[in-house]
Structure 1
Amino acid sequence: MDGVGDLIDLDRYPLGERGSKRYDAFIETCRAMHDEQGACNLQGFIRPEAIEKLRHEADTLLPVGYDKVFTRNVYFTDDDPSLPADHPVRQFWTFSSNQVADDQIDDETLIRQIYLWQPLVDFIADVESCATLYPMADEFQALNIIALEEGGGSPWHYDTNAFTVTLLLEAPEGGGDFVYAPDIRTKDNPNYDGVKRVLDGDKSLIRQLPR
């Protein structure tokens, strides 16, 4: 196995065995988790000693990042005054984070090497039932490092891409929970009532990923 593979707990997660019965069974497990929960959470994916190296890389890069503060709604759209004041489209939140853009992360970093590691790319494609995945062409957003300081966070939103892969390098001392509302809308039904319930604090539709 190459250097990147040594960072990952391949005894637990057999990404280097594509085509084997063990790998196929693992993919089916991940797909079932994804279908049932709306997310696939692989705890301990990166070995503890490797996490320290990645965290050090991220800490080294954060000073060149930028503090991002902006206001948005769930849909990344403009306000629509024709709708009722409490409609989800009209609910906006301001939040902040520190972000390192793709073009600020050198090719030599372990973070980028993991991002481009073909067995990982193949694994994600297999779980998502994609024939092929390609690196994103956006020179700023393809790969990001995001740090949330005290009081920072990301409000409710719909991602604009088909799926997102997140690697947690450092858990907060408190808060910072990854919560989501799976299958709350469909292509044909935006389910504004359900979205409004979530925004109003109804936790019955919400799930939380364990760290």
Structure 2
Amino acid sequence: SIKILCDKHYVYLETLRIDGAQLTDRALDFIAQCHQLRKLMIEFCTNMTGANFSIPSKNNFHKLEQLYLSTLNNISSKSFQLLFNKNCTFKYLHSLTLGECHMIDDNCVRLIVQCCPHLIDLTCSSAYGITDEGFNEIVTHCNQLRYFTLTGCHQIYGEILLDVPEKYLKSIEYLNLDKCNKIDDIILIELFQRKKFISIVNSYGSLIEL
């Protein structure tokens, strides 16, 4: 069905959402011909391995503005690095969601930061391999971020947030660090006091208030 859809509508298709355990890596081969895509959502495709994740980075999706990947449990860190490789720039991508993509690690984050220089909205959940090294990459390089959700990452202490917004993330409006239980509430409370017009969710899932 994906082949039929893409063969018929590839010339003008701008938004595509696919989900389902029955879909495999082959689906991405068909999607790659849709060069006008601005919004792509792939979720619950548990049979995908990411072996051909280099396809989107070969200038196929040069107009992509929003990318949503969720519950792709069999995608390895190396496959994500194929997608976000150093030879590719998603120059129009402003919204990136990586939900329940457990194999995202610091190496992936470093490439994401390089490939997606204009991110405004970044969500990453349950990426257990991300440490302060990857977190710091995001904070120091994603200067346009306004909405940042990083949940379920248990290796992050977040001390670099002491330099927000004076040095980094000057435009941040929303910060969600639910279940990042190594981040001290004091850091978040002080950030809330320094930054006007910001909403912060702490590691307990509670909104910071004074």
Q: TM-score w.r.t. structure 1 length?
A: 0.23
Larger strand percent: 2
Larger helix percent: 1
Q: Who wins on radius of gyration, i.e. which is larger?
A: 1
Q: TM-score w.r.t. structure 2 length?
A: 0.23
Higher relative contact order (CA 8 A, sep 6+): 1
